[in-house]
Amino acid sequence: MNYAKFTHIPAGQFRQLAVLSKLELAIGEIETLDAEAFQGLNNLKYLYLQQNKLKELSETLFNPLAEDVFDMFLNGNEISELPANLFQEQKTIGVSFHKVLIGLG
């Protein structure tokens, strides 16, 4: 779904895709993600959100995702700060972003 023109991803949008391991939402117009947008994606390993218009992410956004290793790409967005507990449920994660501060509280 690269080059998508939608601006918001609502809660449970991908709930029916439980076996999905890779989700590409790069190079689009996404501005907001509901706190439960990725609910049900228990097998997701790769999430590509780079080059959108995201400004902030909910602290619980990635909680429903697999605890296993997965890579996430957030670069090219307008995110200036990430919540301190954003990745607390993940055991190991590789994140790519630019000029982002991690919240300390």
Q: How many residues does the chain have?
A: 105
Picking from 101, 100, 99, 96, the residue whose alpha carbon sits closest to that of residue 46 is: 96
Q: What is the CA radius of gyration of the chain?
A: 13
Q: What is the pLDDT of residues 31-80, one digit of tens each?
A: 999 999 998 888 888 888 989 999 999 988 887 776 665 788 888 888 88
Q: Kindly list the structural domains of the chain, giving each domain's residue range(s) and its CATH number in brackets, ordered by start.
A: 1-105 (3.80.10.10)
Q: Is the pLDDT of residue 1 over 80?
A: no
Q: Is the sign of the CA dihedral 36, 20, 83, 87 positive or negative?
A: positive
pTM score of the predicted model: 0.80
